[in-house]
A and B are shown apart, each in its own frame.
Chain A
Amino acid sequence: GDSVTQMEGPVTLSEEAFLTINCTYTATGYPSLFWYVQYPGEGLQLLLKATKADDKGSNKGFEATYRKETTSFHLEKGSVQVSDSAVYFCALRESGANSKLTFGKGITLSVRP
Chain B
Amino acid sequence: NAGVTQTPKFQVLKTGQSMTLQCAQDMNHNSMYWYRQDPGMGLRLIYYSASEGTTDKGEVPNGYNVSRLNKREFSLRLESAAPSQTSVYFCASSEDRFATNEKLFFGSGTQLSVL
Contact = CB atoms under 8 A, between A and B. Distances in A.
Contact of A105 (B40, B48, B90, B98): B40
B102 A103 contact: no
A104 B106 contact: no
B100 A98 contact: yes
B2 interface: no
B90 A100 contact: no
Is chain A's binding surface mostly helix, strand, loop or mixed? strand
Given A100-B48, A103-B43, A104-B42, A45 B106 contact: yes
A41 interface: yes
B106 A100 contact: no
B41 A105 contact: yes
Interface residues of B, number: 23
A17 interface: no
Contacts of B104: 36, 44, 46, 101
Contacts, number: 53
Interface in B36-62: 37, 40-45, 48, 58
A99 B43 contact: no
Contact of B109 (A43, A103, A106): A43
A45 B92 CA distance: 10
Contacts of A98: 100
Contacts of A4: 42
Given A43-B92, A43-B106, A99 B41 contact: no
Contacts of A38: 106
A100 B58 CA distance: 9
B7 interface: no
B41 A49 contact: no
Given A44-B90, A103-B42, 12 more contacts: A36-B104, A38-B106, A42-B106, A43-B4, A44-B43, A44-B92, A46-B104, A93-B100, A101-B45, A103-B44, A105-B40, A105-B41
15 contacts: A34-B102, A41-B108, A43-B90, A43-B109, A44-B90, A44-B92, A44-B106, A46-B103, A49-B102, A91-B102, A97-B100, A101-B104, A103-B43, A105-B40, A106-B37
